[in-house]
């Protein structure tokens, strides 16, 4: 039986345009802190997210924040067989651009030859700063799900913590699903 090192760790890729709040959201998830002034520019940051499965075992998932990167850079930096989920982050403050951003990222991923994982999550960030408390009035969740295959639609705020428990649960589930799809000999730790 291979050692635990042979086991792949599932990864979630946080994608979105510059300045939509990906890094603030990831820092709040991982470190429990909100840092509005931090800017990551163009770089890739990987963070370890730990949770428990239903049997009390540990689920380790890497969250990869592609700060300011295009899909081609994404393809060069992450093997798709490691992907448990894609997390598309759009900014609630620029609602009119949200669907356009999702469309462009989706096209870029296709052009780069990236086969998306089963779980695709649409995260609306900064809902605390939007004019309308419920973004579902502006972004058509059902239509976006039909067009782009989103499995989850979550409204979040790194500032207030809104939606983070739901996002943590989805991340945990994506990790469990990833391990369930691995060959039996790699599933044992």
pLDDT band at residue 121 using 50, 70 and 90 as cut-offs: very high
CB 2 within 8 A of CB 167: no
Would you give the DSSP letter of residue 120? E
**Position 166 confidence tier, pLDDT thresholds 50, 70, 90:** very high
Instruction: Determine which of 43-47, 122-126, 136-140 has the lowest per-residue pLDDT on average.
Output: 136-140
DSSP per position, 146-186: HHH--SEEEE--TTT-TTHHHHHHHHHHHHHHHHHHS-HHH
Direct distance between the N- and C-terminal alpha carbons of the chain, in angstroms, rounded to an integer: 10
Render pLDDT for 63-95 as a digit per residue (tens, 0 to 9): 888 766 655 566 666 666 788 899 988 887 775
Instruction: Please tell me the least confidently modeled range out of 15-24, 132-141, 152-161, 172-181.
Output: 132-141
Q: Is the pLDDT of residue 176 over 90?
A: no
Please give the pLDDT value at position 73. 65
Rounded distance, CA 46 to CA 64, Å? 4
Q: Are strands 43-52 and 58-67 parallel, antiparallel or unpaired?
A: antiparallel
Output 100 or 41, whichever has higher pLDDT: 100
Q: What integer is the mean pLDDT of 26-51?
A: 75
Kindly report the average pLDDT of the chain as a whole number.
Answer: 77
pLDDT value at residue 44 = 67
Q: Is the pLDDT of residue 187 over 50?
A: no
Task: Give the pLDDT score at 135.
Answer: 53
CA pair distance 68, 141, nearest whole angstrom:
25
Beta-sheet strands, E only, within the chain: 11-15, 43-52, 58-67, 83-91, 119-125, 152-155
Nearest to 24 by CA among 13, 12, 37: 37
pLDDT, one tens digit per residue, over 139-153 is 677 788 888 889 999
* Number of other residues whose CB lies within 10 A of the CB of residue 18: 12
pLDDT confidence tier of residue 18, bands split at 50, 70 and 90: confident
């Amino acid at each position: 039986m291979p050692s635990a090192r042979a086991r792949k760790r599932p990864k979630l890729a946080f994608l979105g345009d510059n300045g939509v709040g990906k890094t603030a959201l990831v820092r709040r998830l991982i470190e429990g802190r909100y840092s509005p002034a931090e800017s990551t520019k163009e770089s890739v940051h990987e963070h370890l997210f730990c949770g428990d499965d239903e049997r009390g075992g540990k689920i380790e998932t890497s969250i990869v924040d592609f700060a300011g990167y295009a899909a081609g850079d994404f393809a060069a930096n992450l093997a798709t067989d490691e992907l448990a989920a894609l997390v598309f982050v759009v900014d609630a403050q620029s609602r009119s651009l949200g669907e356009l951003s999702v469309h462009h990222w989706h096209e870029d991923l296709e052009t780069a030859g990236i086969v998306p994982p089963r779980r695709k999550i649409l995260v609306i960030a900064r809902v605390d700063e939007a004019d309308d408390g419920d973004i579902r009035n502006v972004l058509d969740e059902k239509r976006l799900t039909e067009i782009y295959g989103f499995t989850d639609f979550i409204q979040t705020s790194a500032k207030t913590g809104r939606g983070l428990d739901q996002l943590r649960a989805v991340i945990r589930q994506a990790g469990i699903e990833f391990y369930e799809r691995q060959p039996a000999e790699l599933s044992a730790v």
